[in-house]
Structure 1
Amino acid sequence: MNEQLAKPNVSFQKLVAIALVVAISVVLGVLAVYQIRKPVPYIQEVLALQGDAVQGHAIFQINCSGCHGIMADGNVGPSLKGVSARKSRARLIEQVISGQTPPMPKFQPSQKEMADLLGYLESL
């Protein structure tokens, strides 16, 4: 009879352990999302600037047109027409500077150059 009482405790302990692991996983997941979404100072500085779309077009031609096409309509890389309607300003900046979408290289222009490039991308 003592063995029968011990078995439910083991099951209860397993359930508590599983619940604890799930709770910790959820907390870590929320923290990871917060860290990913937390704007870095570079992005905040770029967003505070007014970009010049004409200057941004020149930056685009030098650094981006080889893959995204001279008219930003795609080549090796995707078309960027209407990209600002699909992605937030912060996400566009992050996309350019991160290098997280191979084969796009990591590119970190000055804050003013990035603001200009952002101005151009928003004009597409």
Structure 2
Amino acid sequence: MAGDPLENQLDQPQVLVRRIIMVVLALLFVIGIGIFGFQVLQVSDPYIQKVLSLNGDPVRGQAIFEINCADCHGMHADGKVGPSLQHISKHRSPSGLIEQVISGQTPPMPKFQPSPQEMADLLTYLEKL
């Protein structure tokens, strides 16, 4: 008695492997679209757009950092309670850094809402670390 043709197809390792690969590729595609959409939403935020349109002063940014961030991240941004921020711009986009600073979504980091110019100054300082 012959089995179900669909069942016979699934018994073949090549068909199963192809289906698994297709599912994995589809998941990666959906994840990629989600990440891209999140980046677009971040950059479309008026506050972030304003910050990115300004020229920051790293000296003023360092002063802002020392007053607001150094207690947790260390005076030289090398980590203390909070993580090291050395070379942080290699790991985070400018909009990602801004979002991290203003969101307060990573406890115990408090929500911090500097003016756009202050944030541009801080961002320029962080990019130089």
Deviation at 1:78, TM superposition (A): 0.2
Structure 2 spans left out of the alignment, 5+ residues: 1-29
1:107 aligns with 2:107: no
Local SS of the residue matching 1:55: helix
Structure 1 spans left out of the alignment, 5+ residues: 1-26
1:72 is matched with: 77
Tell me which amino acid in the other structure corresponds to 2:48.
I
Deviation at 1:84, TM superposition (A): 0.4
Deviation at 1:32, TM superposition (A): 9.4
For the structure 1 residues 41 and 73, does the alpha-carbon distance in structure 2 shift closer, same or farther, using more than 3 Å as the test? same
Matches within 5 A, 1:54-69: 54-69=59-74
State the identity as a percent. Answer: 63
1:44 is matched with: 49
For the structure 1 residues 31 and 75, does the alpha-carbon distance in structure 2 shift closer, same or farther, using more than 3 Å as the test? closer
Tell me which amino acid in the other structure corresponds to 2:87.
G
Tell me which amino acid in the other structure corresponds to 1:108.
Q
Matches within 5 A, 1:1-124: 34=37, 36-37=38-39, 38=41, 39=43, 40-124=45-129
Deviation at 1:52, TM superposition (A): 0.3
CA root-mean-square deviation? 2.0
Deviation at 1:74, TM superposition (A): 0.3
TM-score by length of 2: 0.69
Instruction: State the distance in 2 between where 1:32 and 1:60 align.
Output: 29
1:2-42 superposed Cα distances (whole Å, 9 cap, x missing partner): xxxxxxxxxxxxxxxxxxxxxxxxx9xx67973x4312100
Instruction: State the distance in 2 between where 1:107 and 1:50 align.
Output: 20
For the structure 1 residues 70 and 31, does the alpha-carbon distance in structure 2 shift closer, same or farther, using more than 3 Å as the test? closer
Instruction: State the distance in 2 between where 1:44 and 1:94 align.
Output: 12
